[in-house]
Amino acid sequence: MAILLNSTSDLTARQELALWAHERLCAEYGAPFPFFSTKDPLSELISALLSHRTRNQDSHRAYQQLRARFPTWDEVRDAPTAEVEEAISPCTWPEQKAPRLQQVLHQVSQRCNGGPCDLAFLAEIPIKEARAWLEAIPGVGPKTSAAVLLFSSLRIPAMPVDSHHHRVAQRLGLIGPKVGEGAAHALLEALLPPGWDAQQVYDHHEAFMFHGQKCCYFHTPACGRCVLLERCPTGQARVKR
């Protein structure tokens, strides 16, 4: 199936394909999916910054140690950097992440006009502005900004795209073969109905991610048992070989 990526009719076709895949994958993996996090948005952001290129169990331990040592984010901001570095030692590059965390907390403080560090204000501004504010922080890209808004207690409908989600979308033809993960965010979000709530956006992301983890593997996708095969150009080409 030839897919043109620029015309309006092609956009409509991809929107329809995205919704079809959403229905199939949500049925396959049992949506609605419960949210896994109840963190406030600032805690979610700090957790995301710690997790960069770090195994989940190590970043979790770093986060827990940081929280145990400094009960508030204001205390992390004002602590000697060496102590923050020691608290987050289980994650990768604590010597870089400790000053970065403190920088971020200083920026948040400025936005809060000297009050306690908090990102609750993000709920009061348009999503686009909230994402831009987060993405102005060094090290925060579209995946992290969306994750902070969606996964945290804010539950704002912004969609993160991880490597599994990206791979499935690309093979299915929702995005072009050269579109990277960063650029995929805006393109894939544009395929979702504008009125979708946080649960629907979360289900979409989770269903695509589960599919990448459980069927559309990086090396050898299991196209023969895939619920998207009938409309997937990559799968069709693979099963005809």
Applying CB under 6 A, which residues contact ligand SF4?
168, 171-172, 215-216, 221-223, 226, 228-229, 232, 234-235
Q: Which is nearer to ligand SF4, 18 or 168 (CB)?
A: 168
* Minimum gap (Å) between residue 178 Cβ and ligand SF4: 17
What does the chain come to in residues? 241
CA distance 79 to 226: 51
Question: Can you give the C-alpha Rg of the chain in angstroms?
Answer: 20
Minimum CB–partner distance for residue 210 and ligand SF4 (Å): 12
Q: Of 183 and 229, which CB lies nearer to ligand SF4 in the complex structure?
A: 229
Closest CB 3 distance from ligand SF4, rounded Å:
13
Considering beta carbons, is residue 106 or 214 the nearer one to ligand SF4? 214
Tokens standing for residue 132: 């831009």
Q: Residue 192, SS3? A: coil
Please give the C-alpha separations between residue 97 and each of 49, 87, 106, 145, 213, in angstroms, as whole numbers.
8, 11, 14, 18, 29
C-beta closer to ligand SF4: residue 5 or 229: 229
Q: Which is nearer to ligand SF4, 101 or 168 (CB)?
A: 168
Please, which residues have CB within 8 angstroms of residue 63's CB and are 6 or more apart in sequence? 46, 47, 50, 88
Q: How far is the CB of 28 from ligand SF4 (least distance, A)?
A: 11
Least CB distance from residue 27 to ligand SF4, whole Å?
15
Helices (H), the chain: 8-29, 41-51, 56-69, 73-78, 81-87, 94-111, 127-135, 142-151, 163-172, 181-189, 198-214, 233-240
Residue number of the CB closest to ligand SF4 reads 235
